Copies of this chain bind each other. A is one copy, B any other.
């Protein structure tokens, strides 16, 4: 059996042949010159070698600011990650505006839409097309040889791309650019009047090299070409009435022909062969090597081996390094304008830029205000994720973390068997380390109900509330447990919360309710987790456990009333008080966190005020608990402790927050302001 990638390539190539046969029929069927057209040959240097001045045939690069169109078919979580790496490589070298036409399933659309919206790269337009709409066009094809339908979709693109679009570059998700895509686009200029499609041959076991020197008749299309990089003349395809006709023709052909006989193709004139450097394929290295040994430049690398990065090949290191370059490349560096081209930014990005420009660099809180305004690039569901089945009382644990807390994930998975939505604050390079980390952990690999959302790092302060909002927005159950990554919940908490929500009939209550999960902490870094409330109380009495932040910030959890909790057999109501910041379970549609609180301090306090202002009832659960594990102080808390500016800015933001409360809740917000008055500095 062929490896998966190979099978897909074969399927696509076979279909491509059909397209060419059919189009040829309509373009040349009634043409007296049919069959006389010479086989396509390459102008100039087949390897696209660099001695450009020796070749008068080097195509004109497209004019500055000309829009180039690129189409990509993408489905699922893993391909969506690939698309981002591919697009990073394209953006790194590009100098023209781009329009990306993305044919996606629902998963990829949701991931990529969020990613591009938050990426805000100038001079990149995005349009999505629903892959579902293409399925009927290809689903009739007997697909015993095909790994799926998505590999074939790129060949029926003309039926959904806009009529106004004359030319498009079609790319597989597993290619990496190491050159300006405008150079590829420029090869359209080489097309003869009749050519409709540009392709690189398969770098397989025969023919490569011969072709260029002897101009032999065209080889079998079915084996001859790779569809990882395609130039399509959509206008000519449409002109041929292709959309309506190819299905009929292809059906007839499929009924009567085998793949091998399909190889005796009839219309070489339609294919424009591209220099091999535009699709250097790693699945068969021997002949790909011939391509790159003669060329100085590789333009596009195609990871069309099922082994991908692990492919064994004496030059694999070279290709791997190019690919790793863009895997780890900091995407925010690609937010660069194209000088001298007209307006390139989406309106939101324009507004953001203006707001940033209005900040006063001399103001003491400048760094904070800049961080507050920063829009982080977000890659939701970075890893394959199975959404939880709809259950009315289900709860998702919501938390955020950065690289230094990865080692908490396994323990957290053991303590919380339910769905989780976690925001990870990472650089692009760290995101790759994170992938490796999950891949080598059997515990994490087994959990498809944990959704990881990567928020890319930018700026010096930890955007804690923006991260919480990302994780919260992606939670898919009716309820969420708003936790922190350093807490391990009681082993029973997930079941207990669902049972409590059901028993309390929260979903049918008129009153909005926030269930409080009492928080404890251990100061020891070796610690045996209590299996029950009784065990916890024993540890508490023995001094091995404390109520959370009892020593430095008792007001944060005092209103939970731990004394009452010890004895409680039923949920009990507590009142809001200043600086209260319990960990709570609330409906998914609860208020968002206030993103003005970045770095350390007051980020949860403000959220609880908001809940109280919106009249959430605070209900402490008698059997619920969660325990904070010790860790070295974060850099943010160290900075807070050492910097008066940090504390002053936090104070300023608290006041701005209260002004906002007063605007929204009027007199009802007065109690929060009153409580603020003897402003306690927090340390």
Contacts and interface: CB of A to CB of B under 8 A. Distances in A.
Given A407-B638, A523-B524, A630-B630, A60 B53 contact: yes
Nearest to A55: B53
A257 interface: no
A337 B330 CA distance: 24
Given A318-B339, A335-B321, A638-B407, A525 B59 contact: no
A526 B525 contact: no
A630 B525 CA distance: 7
Nearest to A323: B333
Contact of A292 (B51, B339, B526, B632): B339
B333 A325 contact: yes
Contacts of A333: 321-322, 324-325
Interface stretch (A77-85, A248-256, A293-301, A501-509): A293-301
Interface in A631-683: 631-635, 638
A226 interface: no
A318 B340 contact: no
A632 B58 contact: no
A549 to B, nearest CB: 11
Contacts of A429: 330, 427, 429
A404 interface: yes
A61 interface: yes
Interface residues of A, number: 63
Contacts of A321: 332-336
Nearest to A328: B330
A135 interface: no
B95 A297 contact: yes
Given A53-B58, A292-B339, A339-B318, A407 B330 contact: no
A407 B63 CA distance: 52
A566 interface: no
A337 B58 CA distance: 27
Contacts of A408: 632
Nearest to A408: B632
Contacts of A406: 635
A6 to B, nearest CB: 22
Given A51-B61, A429-B330, A336 B318 contact: yes
B635 A407 contact: yes
A533 interface: no
A339 B293 contact: yes
A638 B635 CA distance: 24
Contact of A52 (B61, B523, B526): B61
Contacts of A403: 403-404
A164 interface: no
Contacts of A30: none
A406 B636 CA distance: 13
Interface string A170-186: 00000000000010000
A321 to B, nearest CB: 4
A50 interface: yes
Contacts of A437: 635
A296 B64 contact: yes
A255 to B, nearest CB: 46
A336 B324 contact: no
A587 to B, nearest CB: 33
A80 to B, nearest CB: 24
Interface in A44-98: 49-54, 56, 58-61, 63-64, 95
A633 B59 contact: no
Interface string A330-355: 10111111011000000000000000
A337 B318 contact: yes
Interface string A397-429: 000000110111010000000000000000101
A387 to B, nearest CB: 29
Nearest to A460: B436
A334 B50 CA distance: 21
A180 to B, nearest CB: 9
A315 interface: yes
A631 B407 CA distance: 12
Given A53-B60, A95-B50, A296-B64, A632 B631 contact: yes
A132 interface: no
A317 interface: yes
B54 A50 contact: no
A333 B54 CA distance: 32
Contacts of A407: 632-635, 638
A324 B315 contact: no
Nearest to A189: B53
Contacts of A325: 329-330, 333
A361 B346 CA distance: 49
A436 B632 CA distance: 20
A642 to B, nearest CB: 9
A293 B427 contact: no
A441 to B, nearest CB: 9
Interface string A267-304: 00000000000000000000001001110110000000
A487 to B, nearest CB: 14
Contacts of A60: 51, 53-54
A415 to B, nearest CB: 16
B293 A315 contact: no
A331 to B, nearest CB: 11
Nearest to A527: B523
25 contacts: A50-B61, A51-B61, A52-B61, A54-B60, A64-B296, A289-B339, A292-B339, A293-B340, A317-B337, A318-B336, A321-B334, A321-B335, A321-B336, A322-B336, A325-B329, A330-B429, A407-B635, A408-B632, A525-B630, A525-B632, A525-B633, A629-B632, A630-B630, A630-B632, A632-B632
Given A51-B61, A328-B330, 9 more contacts: A53-B58, A53-B59, A53-B61, A64-B296, A292-B340, A322-B333, A325-B333, A631-B631, A632-B632
Shortest 7 CB-CB contacts between residues of A and residues of B? A321-B333, A293-B340, A525-B630, A318-B336, A95-B296, A50-B61, A64-B296
